Every structure is written in structure tokens, then in C-alpha cells.
């Protein structure tokens, strides 16, 4: 696994699961399998959700790189 390469949005799978009035979103890097999860209110705009999930995934790669 290449720990130092942060994913681009084209390398990321987003999985949306509605849980009551919340949305669970998993962002998964296609190459490494690294996954992060966010929970948002159901009425959050999809573009904002995607941006947040990808930013969290990039932050996770930074943490892996520095460890």
C-alpha cells in the first residue's frame, strides 16, 4: 500500500446509507481499501457531503503518512 499518495476524487467510492434522519457515508480509496465514515443530517446537500467525506479520507492518508 502506498501510504503517501492521497486519493483523487476519481479514485474514491462513496457509499450512502440512510439511517433514520441521518446519512452514513463511507469513502473508500479504490487502490488501498482505506475507508473513513461520516454521519450527516439527511438534508445536507450531496455535494457538501462528498466534499467532506473526501477531505476526511485525505486527512486519514496524511495521518498514515506521518505514522
Kindly report, residue by residue over 22-56, the tens digit of the pLDDT: 999 999 999 999 999 999 999 999 999 999 999 99
With a threshold of 0.85, does the pTM exceed it?
Answer: no
Report the pLDDT value the prediction gives residue 67, as an integer from 0 to 100.
85
Report the pLDDT value the prediction gives residue 39, as an integer from 0 to 100.
98
| Cα(20)–Cα(60) distance, integer angstroms | 27
H-run or E-run covering 55: helix 46-66
Among residues 37, 29, 39, which one has the least CA distance to residue 3?
Answer: 29
* pLDDT at 4 exceeding the cut of 80: no
* pLDDT at 21 exceeding the cut of 70: yes
Backbone phi and psi for residue 33, each to the nearest 5 degrees, phi listed first: 85, 5
Among residues 23, 18, 26, which one has the least CA distance to residue 56?
Answer: 26
Amino acid at each position: 500500500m502506498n501510504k503517501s499518495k492521497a486519493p483523487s476524487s476519481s479514485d474514491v467510492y462513496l457509499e450512502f446509507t440512510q439511517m433514520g434522519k441521518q446519512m452514513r457515508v463511507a469513502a473508500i480509496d479504490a487502490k488501498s481499501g482505506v475507508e473513513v465514515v461520516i454521519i450527516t443530517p439527511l438534508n445536507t446537500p450531496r455535494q457538501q457531503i462528498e466534499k467532506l467525506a473526501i477531505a476526511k479520507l485525505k486527512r486519514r492518508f496524511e495521518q498514515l503518512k506521518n505514522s
